[in-house]
Amino acid sequence: MKRRELLLLLGALIGSARLTVAESRVPHLVYLWLGQAGSDGATRKGLQAGLRKLGYQEGRNIRVDYRYADGNEGRLAELAGVAVAEQPDIIVTSGTVVTRSVARQTTTTIPIVSITGDPVGSGFIASLARPSGNITGLTVAVGPELAGKWLQLIVEIVPGARRIAVLRNALNPIGGTQLMLMRAAADQLGGNIAFD
């Protein structure tokens, strides 16, 4: 699935999550982003395209508030608290850090549509098949199968590869899981690959 299709699907998920409100009231969606305004280009455009595809026009039949934390997790927590207090119809999050910040506000009634690395491992949902609760969305989870495939591709591209660097965000808890899975996949391939 291409990135654009994935983002359109996110828009459709939002539409199915809970934008069926009383006819006299305009649905309210809050979009939270950890980075700066403009750093979310493809994600924001995909969300907007998905909403348009569902017949929503910002400022006309849906209210969308875009909020940016400028890379500051303290600011993100503040924005999440304000969003939950406003009781919007849906909160859209992208990333484990953002989703965790909203989930900490202990909202169990506002639907949260999220793109996260490992929603099960992060404790957001019970399982991918049956998420339960109020969090839904997409995952870019790196399970053992995908980590093994990544490693196989690297070895195919560079057959003599013995030392591989893994770039990750140390603040994102999924990074440690991804590294652990890559190491396990390396062990299955003979164990002679080291990671930095």
Residue 19: CATH number of its domain: 3.40.50.2300
Handedness of CA 99, 102, 105, 111 (dihedral sign): negative
> What's the mean pLDDT in 45-59?
92
The residue that leads in pLDDT, 189 or 92, is 92
Number of domains making up the chain: 2
Candidate from 35-44, 69-78, 121-130, 145-154 with smallest mean pLDDT: 145-154
- Look over the chain and give the mean of its residue pLDDT values, rounded to a whole number: 81
Same domain assignment for residues 96 and 157: no
**Local confidence band at 1 (pLDDT 50, 70, 90 cut-offs):** very low
Among residues 107, 124, 139, the one where a domain terminates is: 139
Q: What is the pTM of this model?
A: 0.67
Q: What is the pLDDT of residue 138?
A: 80
64 has pLDDT over 60: yes
24 has pLDDT over 70: no
Same domain assignment for residues 152 and 127: no
Range of the domain at 100: 3-139
